[in-house]
Amino acid sequence: MAVAFDEMNGLGGDLRPAYEELSRWLKETPPDALEYRRQEAELLFRRIGITFAVYGDAEAQERLIPFDVIPRIMSAKEWTLLEKGLKQRVLALNLFLKDIYHGRDILRANIVPEDLIFQNPVFRPEMNGQDVPHDIYIHIAGIDIIRTDPENFIVLEDNARTPSGVSYMLENREIMMRLFPDLFARHRVAPVERYPDELLSALRSVAPHSASAEPTVALMTPGVYNSAYYEHSFLADKLGIELVEGRDLIVKNDEVFMRTTEGLKRVDVIYRRVDDDFLDPLTFRPDSALGVPGLMSAYAAGNITLANAVGTGISDDKAIYSYMPDIVKFYLSEEPILKNVQTWRCREPQDLSYVLDNLADLVVKEVHGSGGYGMLIGPAATKATIEAFRDKLKREPEGFIAQPTLALSTCPTCTDKGLAPRHVDLRPFVLTGSSHTTVVPGGLTRVALKEGSLVVNSSQGGGTKDTWILSE
C-alpha cells in the first residue's frame, strides 16, 4: 500500500499551513506534559461517565472510547468545500427517498435497479405514498468522510438512520478546552457548541400540522443498556427535552402521548434513536418491547413526526451507495462534490469475477453490515479467511460489495512510542430543518489506534480526536 497522505505533513513531509501553530506548540511541549494531560482527559471522561457498551462483551460492559489529545485540524477553505459537498449529498438523499416512496422517477429512468429497492429488507412499504413534513426524511445525517490526498473528500458511508457520535464531538471539544486553553488561544477554532440549538430548531420546524405553536419534542432511546445511551441522555439534556423509552409513550386516537406525573401529555416530534424494526410491535417486530404499539398508525395519520423518518435505510444501504454519484446528478443536475469510493457490486457478474480474482487486495463488506463487523480486509487477512470469504461471496454475491484498500489519511497521534501517524476518518453531522440545512463546523474524527490499522470503529478499538475547523 502506498504511503498515506498525512493531514499534518502532506505527502512529501511539508508541513501543511493549518498545522503550523500546532507543530510549534508540540515542539515546545515536553512529552510527559502531553502524557499527563492525556491521563487527565481519561479521568474526566470516566467521571462524566462518557462510556459506551460493547455488545457481547460481558467484562467491559461500559468502556471508554480512547481519546487522543492531538487535534485534527482543517483550514476554512477545506471546510467550505466539504460543507458544500455534504449539503449537496444530503439534499440528494432526501430527494431520493421522497422519490422512492412516491413517484419513483429514478427507477423508471433506470438509474437504480428496481430489485435493489423492492427486495431490500430496509425498504419500508409502509412508507409508500406517505407524506412527511416538508419532504424531509433525513433530519440528522452522519456522513463518513475519508481523504487520500489534499484535494478530495471521499464518502465512505452515508448514515441516514440513527447516526451516533455527536456527543463525542461536543464533549471532546469541552475537554480539550479545559485541558489545552493555551493551545486554543493560539488558534481560531470555529465553535461547535450551537449544535444542540440547531438540532432543536430543526426538529421543531418539522412538527406536524396538528401540533400546537410550541411543539413538544422528545428523544426516544432503547434504554440504559443501549450502547449509545450516554449520548441519548446527553442530547436530551442539552436540548432540554424529555428522554423517553417506549414504555413512557402511549398512542390514543392516533396521537402520541407521554405518561407524566401530571397525566398524559401530547408529543409532536420524536427524535428517535431506536431502529425502524423496533418502533412499533404492531407493524414491525412483534417481539419488540422497546417500541410503542400504534406509533406507526399515529405516524400515518400525520400526528407525529419521526426524525429520522421511517425507511431511510434504503438510502444509506451499501448496495445503493455505489449509485450515489448518479443519484446526485439525477436529482440536482450537478456534478457530485464529494467523491465515492470505487465500488464493485458483487451482484453484477463482471464485478464479481474481478473481486474473486483480487480478493487479497480488496475490502469486502456486507451490504447490510455496520460497525466494521463482518468485513474482509484483503491485505490484512490470512489465506484461510480469504478462502472462507470466497465461498460466502459465491454463495450469496448480492450480499456484498468490494472496494479497493484505501490509504486513509493519517494524523499525528499519541502512542506508546511517542507521536506517530495513525489513520483517521471524519463524521460530520448534517442537520436539515424546514428552512435550511446546517453543518456545524467540525465532526467526529475517529482514529485507528493500532499501527497500520484502517478500522476506526469504536467497537473495534478505534479512538476519537477533537476536530478543529480554523476560521479565516
Partner 1 sequence: MLSRTAENLFWLARYVERAEYLARTIDATLRVTALPAAYIGKTNEWDSALLTAGVGPTFYEHHEEANERNVVEYLSFSDANPSSIKNCIEAARLNSRSVRTALTSEMWDTINSAWIELQGVWTKGGTGSREELAKFLRFVQETSLRFDGSAYRTMLRNDAYWFSRLGVHLERADNTARILDVKYHVLLPEEEHVGGPLDYYQWTSILRSVSATTAYHWVYRETLKPWLIADLLILNDTLPRSLASCYSNLVRNLDQIGVAYGRQGASQRHARGVRNRLEHSHMDDIFQHGVHEFIQEFIADNSRLGEIITKQYLI
Q: Would you tell me which residues interact with partner 1 (CB under 8 A)?
A: 46-47, 49, 223-224, 229, 233-234, 236-237, 242-245, 247-248, 258-262
Q: Which candidate, 209, 166, 161, places its Cα nearest to that of 309?
A: 161
What backbone torsions phi and psi does residue 427 show, to the nearest 5 degrees?
-120, 95
The H helix count followed by the E strand count for the chain is 15, 21
Nearest distance in Å: CB 342, partner 1: 44
Q: Whose grid coordinates read 457478474? A: 349
Nearest distance in Å: CB 291, partner 1: 16
Q: Whose grid coordinates read 464533549? A: 171
Nearest distance in Å: CB 237, partner 1: 4
Nearer to partner 1, 238 or 368 (CB): 238
Nearer to partner 1, 24 or 259 (CB): 259
Nearest distance in Å: CB 239, partner 1: 9
Nearest distance in Å: CB 141, partner 1: 25
Q: What is the DSSP string of 197-250?
A: HHHHHHHHHT--TTS-SS--EEEE-S-TTSTTHHHHHHHHHHHT-EEE-GGGEE
Nearest distance in Å: CB 41, partner 1: 16
Nearest distance in Å: CB 271, partner 1: 14
Helix axes 31-48, 166-179, angle to 10 degrees: 130
N-to-C CA span, the chain: 35
- Alpha-carbon distance of 264 to 241, in angstroms, equals 16
Nearer to partner 1, 158 or 245 (CB): 245
What backbone torsions phi and psi does residue 170 show, to the nearest 5 degrees?
-75, -45
Nearest distance in Å: CB 242, partner 1: 6
What backbone torsions phi and psi does residue 377 show, to the nearest 5 degrees?
-110, 95
Q: Which candidate, 388, 313, 390, 1, places its Cα nearest to that of 157?
A: 313
- Alpha-carbon distance of 310 to 4, in angstroms, equals 39
Nearer to partner 1, 224 or 289 (CB): 224
What backbone torsions phi and psi does residue 141 show, to the nearest 5 degrees?
-120, 145
Nearest distance in Å: CB 259, partner 1: 5
Cell digits of residue 380: 490484512
Identity (one letter) of the amino acid at 420?
A: A
Nearer to partner 1, 223 or 404 (CB): 223
Q: Which candidate, 463, 432, 469, places its Cα nearest to that of 448?
A: 463
Nearer to partner 1, 262 or 472 (CB): 262
Q: Give every CB contact of residue 386 below 8 A, 6+ residues apart in sequence.
A: 359, 360, 376, 378
Q: Which candidate, 58, 208, 191, 201, places its Cα nearest to that of 134?
A: 208
Nearer to partner 1, 263 or 349 (CB): 263
Nearest distance in Å: CB 218, partner 1: 9
Nearer to partner 1, 77 or 259 (CB): 259
Nearest distance in Å: CB 166, partner 1: 16
> 10 Å Cβ neighbour count for 27?
7
Nearer to partner 1, 112 or 243 (CB): 243
- Calculate the alpha carbon distances from 453 to 79, 254, 447 in Å: 26, 50, 9
Identity (one letter) of the amino acid at 472?
A: E
Q: Give every CB contact of residue 8 below 8 A, 6+ residues apart in sequence.
A: 15, 16, 19, 22, 23, 73, 411, 412
Nearest distance in Å: CB 224, partner 1: 5
Nearer to partner 1, 3 or 224 (CB): 224
Nearer to partner 1, 295 or 401 (CB): 295
Nearer to partner 1, 46 or 194 (CB): 46
